[in-house]
Chain A
Amino acid sequence: MSVPFGQDRIADVMARAVDVKGRSLWDDALRRLVRNRAAVVSIVILLLIALAAVFGPLFLAYDYSYQNYDIVSCAPDWWPDKAVLCSAGGSHWFGTDSLGRDLLVRTLYGARVSLAVGLIATVVSLVIGVSYGATAGFLGGRVDELMMRFVDVLYSIPYIFLVIILMVIFDRNFFLLFVAIGAVEWLTMARIVRGQTLSLKQKEFVEAARAGGVGNFSIITRHIIPNVFGPVIVYVTLTVPASILAESFLSFLGLGIQEPLTSWGVLIKDGADQMETAPWMLLFPATFMAITLFCFNFIGDGLRDALDPQDR
């Protein structure tokens, strides 16, 4: 086989180079993440909970609002000590609540609401935080100072109080609850993105883009935002559990999700009221929520280790 020269040679090398697969930053990160056992186990458990939440209620015989007045506050069949309480008749695996509703299906519905809040609120905070932070960092100067000053002001209020006020004003609207939580959790996100943007905008590729006549808006959306992804994704995994917690906190106080719809916070509140006679009403939702929060924290830690260039 003859070795081609000149143009042919270059074309040949280029053709071969396409076949060689390089290891990108993301490949490396993924490799490190997979090696982190706690993170992988957490991802699997979370996926199982999410699947159960989405599809579980389809296979269960009861609706989340169906009330059976004959078996109120009944222990699950396998509960030790159930002789003192009552027998639910086998099919209520988690027992029933004080209104005779199946606790398993309600826990799964609670998981739906809690996970949905986590995701939607996080997306809201992501959109606000990233665009706010990138704009402040990119424009710099007075505008930056003013925008960040506003963030500082909001930081000085414990944010749950702000959500409570938003909920009071908007009369516990289901959808606005999601948005309100997201709308107060973008502050840290904005700070992270701003810091990254400040250092990124000094880089040569931004200068090149500007020399090529690209406008501010396109530079922010095409060059800055994709490059701040690493730290942001770590923070996102920590915002999801924070949002779930915030929603449960509000629901626990009676300011969030309203009956008959439910969430883990509502269930834990009911359980706390009934715990002397029916401790399972507290234990099942509390366990589900604690496991979910743990998983998100482990995944966040794993991602931070995987994406942090200092550890390499």
Chain B
Amino acid sequence: MVATRHSALGAGKTAMFSYAFRRLLGAVPTLFIIVTLSFFMMRLAPGGPFDSQRQLPPEIRHNIEAAYDLDKPVWRQYFIYLGKLTRGDLGPSYKTKDFTVTELIADGLPVTTKLGISSIVLAVLIGVVLGTSAALRQNRIADYGVMSGAMVGITIPTFVMAPILTLIFGVYGVSLFGMDLSLPVSGWNGGAWRNMVLPVIVLALPQIAYVARLTRGSMVEVLHSNYVRTARAKGLSSVMIVWRHALRAAILPLISYLGPAVAGVLTGSLVVEQLFGLPGIGRYFVQGALNRDYTLVMGVLIYYAAIVILLNLVADLLYAVLDPRVRYAR
């Protein structure tokens, strides 16, 4: 008995590892296509690192081209780029002299990561609580309230929400019960929590809305299932039912939302970092796009795509680990 159970578990593990391995292999061509697309788009783009400056003598121009490998045929440039990429080198920035794209990304990474993780954690905590309470009062005022609030959160874009919140908490300075609730509206200040409050809230709001919607949907379904009815028949309080029985099943769909959530936060960070003056990757990306710093823009794109692909993979694996009903087909 014990032996068979053990071997079944072992087989499951092997299946999962082979599934994970297959998925990782599958991510390689995806990344490869993205890299290839970006490289050739970059070559399509007009101008180079030395344009829009004064006319250069031909020797100097030649030296610069050689330094950026631009004197070689395009196919060789492509392979040089690929080769460097496998070593994590995204090439030199065209506009921020003396910096490589990798250095710039590494520079902004702590800020964007801290913002992103905080807002996703906040979104999950608040969204799950809101969604659950809406599901418990299905089709009553609290439910409609939460759902229309979610609609507002989804419809109003970050770049409208951010200035409005800045206006309320930064410019006018709200005070509640004698407490000063005004917050700094710009700057990073080494990641002080007061500087992070507004950006994180702005980034989290749409995600809170999506998470609340998802949780409500699955929670309503779970609350109608037989085992919840059994728990209720046993006389458990609704808090216990939700906490011990329903929540686990109800938050499973959230895991597959991890990828889109990260993509949403990364997109939002473009606006938020710009508006609140935070030195993250998003701001480099926007500045790079405005300055036509092609290598930087492409580098950030490849980097972001890799993150989203990786997180989708993690989400799938996590789902498989947490939900015993999932089998690795094929």
- The verdict on A186 contacting chain B, using a C-beta distance below 8 Å, is no
B271 within 8 A of A: yes
A-B contact count (CB 8 A): 110
Residues of B within 8 A of A168 (CB): 45, 289, 292, 294, 297
List 10 tightest A-B contacts by C-beta distance, closest first. Answer: A272-B163, A169-B45, A158-B263, A252-B159, A293-B155, A286-B160, A157-B305, A153-B30, A156-B309, A153-B33
Q: Closest CB-CB distance, A143 to chain B, in whole Å?
A: 17
Is A160 an interface position by the 8 A CB rule? yes
Collect the chain A residues with CB atoms within 8 Å of residue B164's CB.
Answer: 282, 286
Given contacts A156-B30, A156-B312, A161-B304, A254 and B290 within 8 Å (CB-CB): yes
For chain B residues 245-292, which have a beta carbon within 8 Å of chain A?
A: 263-264, 266-267, 270-271, 274-275, 285-286, 289-290, 292
Task: From known contacts A168-B289, A168-B292, infer whether A253 and B274 are also in contact, taking CB-CB under 8 Å.
Answer: yes
**How many B residues touch A, CB cutoff 8 Å?**
44
Beyond contacts A165-B301, A249-B267, A293-B157: 19 other A-B pairs, Cβ-Cβ < 8 A, are: A153-B33, A156-B309, A157-B308, A160-B270, A161-B301, A165-B297, A168-B45, A168-B289, A168-B297, A169-B46, A248-B159, A249-B159, A253-B274, A268-B160, A271-B163, A282-B167, A286-B163, A290-B160, A297-B155
User: Does chain A have a CB within 8 A of B222?
Assistant: no
Q: How far is the CB of B73 from chain A (nearest CB, A)?
A: 21
Q: Is residue A45 contacting chain B, with contact meaning CB distance below 8 A?
A: no
Give Cα distance in the complex from A162 to B301, angstroms.
8
Q: Are A156 and B308 in contact (CB under 8 A)?
A: yes
Interface residue B298 (Cβ < 8 Å from any Cβ of A): yes
A277 to B110, CA, bound (A): 34
**1/0 per position for B131-175, CB-CB distance to A under 8 A?**
000000000000000000001001111011011101100010000
A232 within 8 Å of B (CB atoms): no
B160 in contact with A275 (CB, 8 Å) = no
Cα-based distance from A222 to B239 in the complex (angstroms) = 56
**Docked complex: A158-189 residues within 8 A CB-CB of B:** 158, 160-162, 164-169, 171
Shortest C-beta distance, B3 to chain A (Å), equals 41
